[in-house]
Amino acid sequence: MNQGIDQRLIADCIANQRVAQRRLYELTVPYFTIIAKRYLRNPEDLKDTLQDSYLNIFHKLEQYDPSRAGFKTWATRVLINNCLKRNSNGQKNATEELIAERSQQCTSPEVIEKLSTDDLIIWLKRMPEAYYAVFSLNVIDGFSHPEIAEMLNIDAALSRKRLSRARAWLKQEMVRDPKSPLRDDPRFRREMMSIQAFMLVQAFVYGLPDV
């Protein structure tokens, strides 16, 4: 996603040059759409969440510090926080936007594109929402537990506990649900999801080496 996004383009966006803002939008919206679909509970919220995220990004672009994080890292954080806020629907645990640098890199767009197939995401979203949020933030997007704790307004220990429970849920569902796309059956791997996605989630559940 960073390809074509340089400091000149960012400076032009800060200067409210419409051509530059359109270019930034065109370069980022395919990736942002993939991320937003994975986090949002209600698909109907996609358009409004993307719109809010771009408004936030352009409004706060002067605060972006390239010495602390890449643009993709910073902008993805803004997007994810908007998704979580939308999901919270005004409840007590509504998240606050974070601008600090991520401690780990995002999963590559190629892996995310394959992981974010409709069948897999729909299946994973059956997980209790509190577990799914931590699972997605940590396992797929690489946020640390202190970062997740700040985003979800919980403490780091609870984030770790929810991740452990997400693992237990996945183990149980992989055995219980004959339609699980994570079953150790090549048919499901071929039909429901990519082998990269299968191996990533299997590694999380069973502690296998990362792929």
Token digits of residue 121: 């995401």
Helix (H) and strand (E) counts in the chain: 11, 0
Report field, pTM of the whole predicted structure over 0.75: no
The per-residue pLDDT for 190 is 42
Could you give the 3-state DSSP secondary structure of residue 211? Answer: coil
Query: What are the pLDDT digits (tens) for 92-112?
Result: 443 333 323 333 334 444 444
CATH label of the domain that carries residue 37: 1.10.1740.10
Token digits of residue 208: 């296998």
Domains in the chain, number? 2
Q: What percent of the chain has pLDDT over 70?
A: 65
The per-residue pLDDT for 150 is 82
C-alpha to C-alpha distance for 168 and 175, rounded to whole angstroms: 11
Q: Are residues 82 and 121 in the same domain?
A: no
The per-residue pLDDT for 25 is 95
C-alpha to C-alpha distance for 45 and 121, rounded to whole angstroms: 16
The per-residue pLDDT for 32 is 93
pLDDT-derived band at 69, boundaries 50, 70, 90: confident
Which of 40, 67, 101 is a domain's end point?
Answer: 101
Which of 85, 101, 117 is a domain's end point?
Answer: 101
Q: Are residues 18 and 88 in the same domain?
A: yes
Q: What is the DSSP letter of 105?
A: P
> Residue 29: which domain range?
1-101
